[in-house]
Amino acid sequence: MARWRFNLPLLLLAALQPWLALAEHSFENTAIVRTVELGGALVHVTTTYAIKALEDGSSVYTLAIPRDEHQKTSWLEVKIKGQSAILPLDLVGQDIKTGILYYAAELPKPLKLNATTNLVVETVQTHATYPWPAEAGQKDPQSLKYETELLVLSPYVTAVQRTKIRTPSPQVHSFTKPEGLEAFTLEDPVTKSGATLTYGPYKNIPQSTSEDFVEDKQKRVTVHYECDFPVIEISKLTRAAEISHWGANLNIEDNIVLHNGGPKLKGHFSRLEHQSSAYFGRSPPHVIPGMTLHLPAGIQNVYYYDFIGNVSTSRLRTAPSVPKGSPSTQFSVLELKPRYPVLGGWNYSFTLGWDSPLRDSAGYDSKTGKWVVAIPVMTPIPSAVIDQAEVKIVLPEGATDFDFYPPFPASMNEVASHITYLDTIGRPTITLHYNQLTDKHSGIIYVTYRVPFSAHMKKPLAVATAFIGVFVLALTWRRVDTRIQRQK
């Protein structure tokens, strides 16, 4: 399992305790450094474990993640420092008493006695911050709170650990100064330098996943900080990707419900105040004035409308088509402006769509006789969380033997038939559902299918039939028309 979403049923192993007791002797943490990058909708946490094998052939390292942190985590990935391969990760179980979840990471090769390596655990947390105060005036700054547990827990002994919390700006209103840590440090338990808070170093921490340790020694830490960019939440993204061989076209249409997760606006919105602050380039951080999106290269017929109609204030710079499979990082840039500035607590729903030449994302595999089409899960929206996403892929009419390969498991898959105007038998559709997508989830879904030659022919036939139908209808109308006139 390369990429992990927490939608698997939890295994509660009765044998967890003995298993952990056994694991305890295989490693020691010589140092743990956790770095928390605070943001708005997303919080990125990177934890580096410098580990040493205490037994010959130690190959499975156990990670302990507290329940509360686990609930907020929507991305978890383990690598060896400096390497790009993602280590296989298995959820082992949850300790009912402490709530801690255990993951087993398999090292690329077993370590010899006293051998060392560095593991890098990367996670992304969503909805881990909240606005405080919960309401703010239009000109007020935006402040958020974040809470976390102080110590990184481990079933192994830890020689030294620290947690660094980085805030978006040095404006930190308050942060917890933990007490009762004399066992681990005689110095200041926390220091602040610019936009970084450092908790620790805390030394000689015993095996820390027991109920006693968690109750006695674990502390909660709260940081109250200023965030100078908006908390962008997409409550719902509905993407429809329609593949047409007849038109040699891939149409992608996104229905987006945008929500500003910042403090709710106190009082009335003043457009004048907004315009004047925008004029001075000081748009308040809790207003979403727009977003810059990177759309694929080679797109055409871009449309963007909301409940009132077309929105024409956005700017688009399209990049020319890029040959499939080339490593180019070209993209079209859309500066999307909502019809009105989206203030804290406000929503804005809109539809964004485009066409692109099918050859840019489709290939034909002559060995299997199947088409392969690449559909991006979503358009990445910088520092935004997507609470719910539904990606519907509409295959060409008559497609058979289809399969799909998502970049990470969906929470639910559906396969159905989709009937549009001019279709005679409907088109197979694949719908994937996801929750809590982040900037890490911009992967590609590959779909493969076969289209028999006769299916290509059905479309012209359907067009011909429809055309004749309209023609006959027109004739009938004329007849009706004349009959009425005759009656007069």
Ligand X SMILES: *[C@@H]1O[C@H](CO)[C@@H](O)[C@H](O)[C@H]1NC(C)=O
Rule CB under 6 A: which residues touch ligand X?
Answer: 113-114, 235, 259, 303, 309-310, 345-347
CB nearer to ligand X: pick between 178 and 345: 345
Residue 425 tokens read as: 């038998």
- Report the nearest approach of ligand X to the CB of residue 355 (Å): 12
**Smaller CB distance to ligand X: residue 112 or 139?**
112
Residues 485, 343: Cα–Cα separation, whole Å = 59
H or E element in which residue 455 lies: helix 453-487
Q: Which is nearer to ligand X, 176 or 356 (CB)?
A: 356
Q: Give the whole-angstrom CA distance, residue 485 versus residue 488.
A: 5
What does residue 203 show for φ and ψ, rounded to 5 degrees? -115, 160
Closer to ligand X by Cβ: residue 199 or 346 = 346
Q: How far is the CB of 120 from ligand X (least distance, A)?
A: 24
- CB nearer ligand X, residue 115 or residue 466: 115
Taking the least distance from each CB to ligand X, the nearer of 303 and 471 is 303
CB of 232 to ligand X, least distance (A): 14
3-state secondary structure of 216: helix
- The nearest distance, CB 59 to ligand X, in angstroms, is 17
Q: How far is the CB of 348 from ligand X (least distance, A)?
A: 9
Q: Give the number of other Cβ atoms within 10 Å of residue 176's Cβ.
A: 18
Q: Which is nearer to ligand X, 75 or 346 (CB)?
A: 346
Q: How far is the CB of 301 from ligand X (least distance, A)?
A: 7
CA distance 25 to 156: 7
Say how far apart CA 142 and CA 262 lie, in whole Å.
Answer: 7
- The minimum distance between CB 310 and ligand X, in angstroms, equals 4
Residue 272: its H or E element: helix 271-279
Q: Which is nearer to ligand X, 52 or 245 (CB)?
A: 52
Q: Quote the least distance from Cβ 63 to ligand X, whole Å.
A: 24
DSSP 355-393: EEEGGGTEEEETTTTEEEEEEES----TTEEEEEEEEEE
Quick one: three-class SS letters along 191-206?
A: EEECCEEEEEEEEEEC
Q: Closer to ligand X at the Cβ: 347 or 368?
A: 347
Shortest CB 257 distance to ligand X, Å: 7
- What would you report as the CA-atom Rg of the chain, rounded to the nearest whole angstrom? 28
177, 188, 195, 257 from 191: Cα distances, Å: 9, 7, 11, 41
- How far, rounded to the nearest angstrom, does the alpha carbon of residue 303 sit from its chain's CA centroid? 24
Pair 227, 39: CB distance under 8 Å: yes
Cα 183 from Cα 168, distance rounded (Å):
32
Nearer residue to ligand X within complex by CB, 171 or 349: 349
Interatomic CA distance for residues 259 and 236, integer angstroms: 9
**How many other CB atoms are there within 10 angstroms of residue 63's CB atom?**
22
CB 82 within 8 A of CB 120: no
Q: Residue 438: which of 167, 219, 159, 125 has the closest Cα?
A: 125
Least separation in angstroms between CB 233 and ligand X = 9
The SS3 of residue 456 is helix
Indicate the pairing of strand 220-226 with strand 172-175.
Answer: antiparallel
Q: Which letter does DSSP use for residue 41 in this model? A: S
In whole angstroms, how close is the CB of 350 to ligand X at the nearest point?
A: 13
Nearer to ligand X, 59 or 314 (CB): 314
